[in-house]
A = this chain, B = another copy of it.
Amino acid sequence: MTTAYSHLCATFTRLSHYNHLSAIAGWDMATMMPSAGSQARSEALAELSVLSHQVLTAKQVGEWLKQAGNEALNDVELANLREMRRQYQQSALLPESLVQEKSLAGARCEHAWRVQRRANDWEGFSENLREVVRLSRQEASLRADATGSSRYDALLDMYEPGMTSKKLDVLFGDLKTWLPELLQKVVEKQKAESCIIPAGPFDIEKQRQLGLKVMERLGFNFDAGRLDVSSHPFCGGVPQDVRITTRYNEDEFLSSMMGVIHETGHARYEQNLPKKWLGQPVSNARSMGIHESQSLLFEMQLGCSEPFLRSIYPLVNAQFGERKGLDESNFIKLNQRVQPGLIRVDADEISYPAHVILRYEIEKALIEGEIEVEDIPALWSHKMQEYLGIDTVGDYRNGCMQDIHWTDGGFGYFPTYTLGAMYAAQLFQCANHAIPTLQDDIARGDLTALFQWLQQNIWQHGSRFSTDQLINNATGETLNPAYFRQHLENRYL
């Protein structure tokens, strides 16, 4: 007899095929597509997205989901069913008219933002943003009504299942008590140390070669993925064929190199998701926070650590030779420099959480209706001053207009960056205990044991467990921010 569950599996396999095409066409759009292809591509992708939405939210799927609850399923199947139900509910909840309205308003706001940001045009931008916020609040209300959560929590849950603003307030509240002081101390400390910025140019082909060598060292499977160029680095494609990107700048090579290391962390997670469940929701990465934990474990825990930097120094040297500021000791300093700045994506790992907390507090208040769009700039300036000691009054371009997230209504996403940093610290600390030789292994360039540990504890599980279970199974406790603080103090004080 064909079970409801097997019908569901077939439907989600079909959806994964559509997702495959959409992922590759999306990657192509960002890396390969010539400019005139843009409109036709957007239309084709929108068509597929409408189709996927229809297939996922078909009445029949709802019925199968009910029936499957009464069928005999094993643990993995139950986890798969839970993830299917989650996807179905998240999609079926919203009327198509709202989905469409929000998508249009988001596209309009993002499109105009590209020009308005350059022009520092807050007036023009805020007009579009108001509409995006209005629709995001509607979306949040509908989601909140269905789950009984607060509006903001309903959005947060889409990216980080199980996370709530109550938990975040505790985590971030704690961070705020010690982070600004730590930052100040580290900046003071580093002022006393000399650090030389090596002068360019750094040949782009050599930067690419360095990136490829580092990816190789990090175990990227080149039979199942590629490295290309895009204006914003990302990890895309599908688990069988992971496409990461970086961007190059002749003046310096560290950001392309660190970008590659970061995306390789995402990539290895994707490449090692459970093969036998691929196509089913249970095979997907657990959450955005866990995804970010892998990229930040690669970039920050491992990539910016002294033994790792020493171990890749010969690769850097082979590409760029001896030049002032490129001796081993200065190379390490360059990668551990702390300097509060205006821009989130350029931030060091101590300043970064401040950028995130600021955004979290503003977007939460915005979605909950406690503030309005016009309140953002003043709040932004105030919090930048408080958390990072930086004056940003009037500089919208490098202030509240710097990110793309809000332009298309991605409220609730920002916290996952800092959750990722915290998970990364906790996981790495635990791997360190589990593998007594780890620091020596890293120094020798042998990462086998570390990757086995990640494979064993994170990658192979996909979405089988809840985030709390996954982290508890891996480390013996749920998220504990103490490891993050400890990591920062150990590295920087």
Please give, as numbers and ranges, the residues of chain B lying within 8 Å of A41 by CB-CB distance.
20, 24, 240-241
Contacting pair B35 A223 (CB below 8 A): yes
Q: Is A435 an interface residue (CB 8 A)?
A: no
Please give, as numbers and ranges, the residues of chain B lying within 8 Å of A225 by CB-CB distance.
34
From B21, B223, B224, contact of A48 by CB (8 A): B21
Q: Closest residue of chain B to A15, judged by CB?
A: B47
Q: Closest residue of chain B to A225, judged by CB?
A: B34
Contacting pair B241 A14 (CB below 8 A): no
Q: Closest residue of chain B to A278, judged by CB?
A: B40
Using known A-B contacts A21-B21, A32-B226, determine if residue A240 contacts B47 with beta carbons closer than 8 Å: no
Contacting pair A40 B223 (CB below 8 A): no
Q: Is A221 an interface residue (CB 8 A)?
A: yes
Please give, as numbers and ranges, the residues of chain B lying within 8 Å of A241 by CB-CB distance.
33-34, 36-37, 40-41
The CA of A39 and the CA of B275, in the complex, are separated in Å by 13
Please give, as numbers and ranges, the residues of chain B lying within 8 Å of A47 by CB-CB distance.
14, 17-18
The CA of A222 and the CA of B17, in the complex, are separated in Å by 31
Contacting pair A44 B32 (CB below 8 A): no
Using known A-B contacts A21-B48, A47-B18, determine if residue A238 contacts B36 with beta carbons closer than 8 Å: no
From B25, B39, B45, B224, contact of A34 by CB (8 A): B224
Q: Closest residue of chain B to A35, judged by CB?
A: B223
Please give, as numbers and ranges, the residues of chain B lying within 8 Å of A33 by CB-CB distance.
241
The B-contacting residues of A in range 257-289, CB under 8 angstroms, are: 278
The CA of A241 and the CA of B32, in the complex, are separated in Å by 10
CB distance from A242 to the nearest CB of B (A): 9
Which secondary structure characterizes the binding site on chain A? helix
CB distance from A95 to the nearest CB of B (A): 22
Q: Is A252 an interface residue (CB 8 A)?
A: no
From B20, B24, B222, B223, contact of A24 by CB (8 A): B24
Please give, as numbers and ranges, the residues of chain B lying within 8 Å of A32 by CB-CB distance.
32, 226
Contacting pair B36 A28 (CB below 8 A): no
Q: Is A123 an interface residue (CB 8 A)?
A: no
Please give, as numbers and ranges, the residues of chain B lying within 8 Å of A237 by CB-CB distance.
37
Please give, as numbers and ranges, the residues of chain B lying within 8 Å of A36 by CB-CB distance.
221, 223-224, 240-241
The CA of A222 and the CA of B32, in the complex, are separated in Å by 12
The B-contacting residues of A in range 215-235, CB under 8 angstroms, are: 221-226
Please give, as numbers and ranges, the residues of chain B lying within 8 Å of A14 by CB-CB distance.
47
Please give, as numbers and ranges, the residues of chain B lying within 8 Å of A34 by CB-CB distance.
222-226, 241
Please give, as numbers and ranges, the residues of chain B lying within 8 Å of A24 by CB-CB distance.
24-25, 28, 41
The CA of A40 and the CA of B279, in the complex, are separated in Å by 9
Q: Is A370 an interface residue (CB 8 A)?
A: no
Q: Is A43 an interface residue (CB 8 A)?
A: yes
The CA of A39 and the CA of B35, in the complex, are separated in Å by 30
CB distance from A52 to the nearest CB of B (A): 11
Using known A-B contacts A17-B47, A25-B25, determine if residue A40 contacts B238 with beta carbons closer than 8 Å: yes
The B-contacting residues of A in range 17-62, CB under 8 angstroms, are: 17-18, 20-22, 24-25, 28, 32-37, 39-41, 43-45, 47-48, 51
The CA of A14 and the CA of B47, in the complex, are separated in Å by 7
The CA of A36 and the CA of B34, in the complex, are separated in Å by 27
Please give, as numbers and ranges, the residues of chain B lying within 8 Å of A37 by CB-CB distance.
224, 237-238, 240-241
The CA of A34 and the CA of B37, in the complex, are separated in Å by 24
CB distance from A268 to the nearest CB of B (A): 14
Please give, as numbers and ranges, the residues of chain B lying within 8 Å of A28 by CB-CB distance.
24, 28
The CA of A18 and the CA of B45, in the complex, are separated in Å by 9
Please give, as numbers and ranges, the residues of chain B lying within 8 Å of A39 by CB-CB distance.
240
Please give, as numbers and ranges, the residues of chain B lying within 8 Å of A17 by CB-CB distance.
43-44, 47-48
Please give, as numbers and ranges, the residues of chain B lying within 8 Å of A25 by CB-CB distance.
20-21, 24-25
The CA of A221 and the CA of B35, in the complex, are separated in Å by 11
CB distance from A13 to the nearest CB of B (A): 8
The CA of A278 and the CA of B41, in the complex, are separated in Å by 13
CB distance from A55 to the nearest CB of B (A): 10
CB distance from A93 to the nearest CB of B (A): 26
The CA of A437 and the CA of B152, in the complex, are separated in Å by 71
Q: Closest residue of chain B to A28, judged by CB?
A: B24
Please give, as numbers and ranges, the residues of chain B lying within 8 Å of A35 by CB-CB distance.
223
| Residue of A24, A237, A238, A278 with most partner-chain B CB within 10 A | A24
Nearest 9 CB-CB pairings of A with B:
A37-B241, A17-B47, A36-B224, A20-B44, A40-B240, A17-B44, A36-B223, A21-B21, A35-B223
* 21 A–B pairs (Cβ distance < 8 Å), ordered by A: A17-B44, A17-B47, A18-B48, A20-B25, A20-B43, A20-B44, A21-B21, A21-B22, A21-B45, A21-B48, A24-B25, A24-B41, A25-B25, A34-B222, A34-B225, A34-B241, A36-B223, A37-B238, A39-B240, A40-B238, A41-B240
